[in-house]
Every structure is written in C-alpha cells, then in structure tokens.
Copies of this chain bind each other. A is one copy, B any other.
Amino acid sequence: MTEIAVVATFVAKPGNEDKLKEALQGIVAPTLKEPGALQYDLHRDIKEPRRFVFFERWLSEAALAQHNQTPHIQALGKTLPDLIEHGEISVVAKL
C-alpha cells in the first residue's frame, strides 16, 4: 500500500468564517477514528482568516476513497456549497 496525502483548501464566503470553522472542526474527530487516517490537521491561514487548509495523510488511495464515502464527509459535502466561495482539493504523493 502506498501512502497518499491531501491538501484541501476552503475559503469562506464573507461572514461565514465561524460556521465554516465549526463545520470543518466537526469532521476532525470522526475522521481520526478511521483506520486509514495517518494525519488529519485543520489549519487557518494566519493572514487570511477566511481561509482554512487541511493537511491529510492516508494509508492508501483506497482509505481516502473510503473516507470520502463516510457519513460525516457526505454531510459536509451538502453544507459546504453554502459556506464557501472557493474550494480546492489536491491529492499528492510524497517524494
């Protein structure tokens, strides 16, 4: 199995920062319980407070795919469009 990483960036619509922060923080605990989750760190940009960045490490691409099907990620997927003006998810491999 080859480890995979994800950098996911979300920028809140003006005024939605607190709601977005709460929604993103809400998925950290259940995600860290997933067997393939090696690292799942949520950050906030120190210069742009509407910008949140996840850095994630997964045991395999299959573990990441399973993560994307979990109830907490499916639920987030439904609420995010109202909260964000920009979202970008990059799947990356460590060199």
Contact = CB atoms under 8 A, between A and B. Distances in A.
Interface of A: 4-5, 7, 9, 21, 24-25, 41-48, 51-53, 55, 90-95
Q: Is the interface of A mostly helix, strand, loop or mixed?
A: strand
A94 B28 CA distance: 12
B43 A95 contact: yes
A9 B91 CA distance: 13
Contact of A45 (B9, B41, B42, B90): B90
B95 A46 contact: no
A44 B7 CA distance: 11
Contact of A53 (B41, B44, B47, B90): B90
A44 B92 CA distance: 5
